[in-house]
Structure 1
């Protein structure tokens, strides 16, 4: 392992500490009897959990393929690369899954690393927009929400939605404005921010207005499936909450990935899910256990499927470079 990677691994320690803190915050005061109370109240809802999981991630794979179809990437290869990157992000530090997707597998999609980086950035923007809309909508229901939080959620929708709309309708016009805004900057972080914004604009411009709007629709559909997955899981374990609770849990738990933590977002996810469900009538113990259960399920399912697709593809490759050596050759961070 290179010195640069060793230094990067040391940077993980604050994230691990953050995860540990949120896990303590979520499960302090829990008793073993609380865990023993977890049971399958309506096993038939397991069908819904599995069906909506498949539908949601198939939609995400389709959205990813839409962004690279112009370079004649195949849907099967795109789905494999996408799921492999998610699996790697769940178990490896430093967003290695995204880095592998950009540098290791760009050739599998007939694309350049810059093209794949642009799709990754646009995916994040689309997901944040969708979750912001869902979060602000669900905040109008339930209790213990301050007016300031409602205002913040509305501002988040306005900024993310307005920004994405401007990008969709005026990507070509925005490019020279962005270049002028960052002209002459010597700050490395600002230069990287400019690079990422221009890549996202280029991806939007290549998809066109209608194509970009279709990407927005696909993003909302994918997260609707995710919400139905949470609803099914709540019915599966007999969670006592109102109809909005699982939907706010989806938005809040997934937005928690913006908080730096360990791979897989362990800790902030459970705490955010618990907080959301408690505001909709669920008990603290049931809310925390549901967050843990749904997170374990997602981590195991996504990592299992992505890992299986990775291994199946790797067995066909010849020659096969050892995985650790392949990872060691990757850049320590996104360009």
Structure 2
């Protein structure tokens, strides 16, 4: 493992430990156990169903992008690689599942590795745009100011959303900037610079194709459906806890907790997600123990279903021998 990866892993572990310590320090253990003891199984079960429906929409969105290169690709053929990659991301560092999806499954999908990598970047942009939209809507409807919690103001959030929307709808606006950046890197490090230029060209080629006609609109609708259903997971977790007086707080916890996963952390985002999701709920006046119980319950409902589904998919159709190792060695991801 490179020194850079070791440093990144150490920083993630330290951040996770710090946020777990903050939660433990601020939360009364007896009150937390009492909140969990009252949890209603019916709402938890409904939340898991919402999770599965939401990820079905994510698979459909990914299939729509891959179909530009392989129109015969079905939802079923995409589901296994997608869920396996999510499961791997939850247990291994450096988003190893993304590398697996691109390098180990490209042959099974009938789509080139470069194109699969490009779809992962577009996925991130679509997710970021949707999350920023949900955050803006939640803040507008509630009248809350989450600037202190997020560390940025409303203007910065609007600017970020506009930039992402422009990248998706008018990719030509940013392409010269990307080329210039890749050229600068190439002057300092010719090898990585050439690779960055190649990947950048693939991403913008895909964005240009997706921006034509109604394709991008359909992808945005799939994203809205996927994240709306994930929001229902948060809402079901809130409704499962009788002590939570403001279940609508779940709709603010969704974007705040999700954006917190951008911070260095462990696989599965232990600590970072939980701390900020709980803090968002406390803006509605929820007690610390109830807020912590909500965050931990939500995290559990998001963490274990992909492990189960991805594990079953891997058992039904194992990877070729050595595929995982080859993916890890070839991954361009940090």
- Which residue is 2:63 aligned to? 65
Q: 1:7 deviation in Å? A: 6.8
Q: Which range moves more in the overlay, 38-47 or 272-281? A: 38-47
Aligned Cα RMSD in Å? 2.8
Give the distance between the partners of 2:3 and 2:313, measured in 1 at CA: 28
- Structure 1 residue ranges without an equivalent (≥5): none
- Which residue is 2:202 aligned to? 199
Q: Deviations over 1:276-319 (max 9, x none)?
A: 000012111111121112112221111111121112111xx6xx
Give the distance between the partners of 1:149 and 1:298, measured in 2 at CA: 22
Matches within 5 A, 1:37-56: 37=34, 38-56=36-54
Asked if 2 retains the 8 angstrom alpha-carbon contact of 1:19 and 1:268, the reply is yes
- Which residue is 1:152 aligned to? 153
Q: Which range moves more in the overlay, 195-204 or 90-99? A: 195-204
- Which residue is 1:118 aligned to? 118
Relative to structure 1, is the Cα distance of residues 146 and 13 closer, same or farther in structure 2, using a 3 angstrom cutoff? closer
- Which residue is 2:219 aligned to? 215
Q: 1:31 deviation in Å? A: 3.7
Matched, 1:330 2:334: no
Q: Deviations over 1:26-84 (max 9, x none)?
A: 22143431232013454432342122112111001111111101222232121111111
Relative to structure 1, is the Cα distance of residues 42 and 265 closer, same or farther in structure 2, using a 3 angstrom cutoff? closer
- TM-score (structure 1 length as normaliser): 0.86
Q: Which of 243, 249, 255 in structure 2 is aligned with 1:251? A: 255
- TM-score (structure 2 length as normaliser): 0.86
Q: Which range moves more in the overlay, 218-227 or 241-250? A: 241-250
Asked if 1 retains the 8 angstrom alpha-carbon contact of 2:253 and 2:277, the reply is yes
Give the distance between the partners of 1:258 and 1:218, measured in 2 at CA: 22
Matched, 1:26 2:23: yes
Relative to structure 1, is the Cα distance of residues 203 and 224 closer, same or farther in structure 2, using a 3 angstrom cutoff? same
Matches within 5 A, 1:78-227: 78-140=78-140, 141=142, 143=144, 145-146=146-147, 152-160=153-161, 162-172=162-172, 174-176=174-176, 178-180=178-180, 182-185=182-185, 186-187=187-188, 197-207=200-210, 208-227=212-231
Give the distance between the partners of 1:244 and 1:28, measured in 2 at CA: 26
Relative to structure 1, is the Cα distance of residues 258 and 333 closer, same or farther in structure 2, using a 3 angstrom cutoff? same
Give the distance between the partners of 1:268 and 1:288, measured in 2 at CA: 12
SS of 2:317's equivalent in the other structure is: helix
- Structure 2 residue ranges without an equivalent (≥5): none
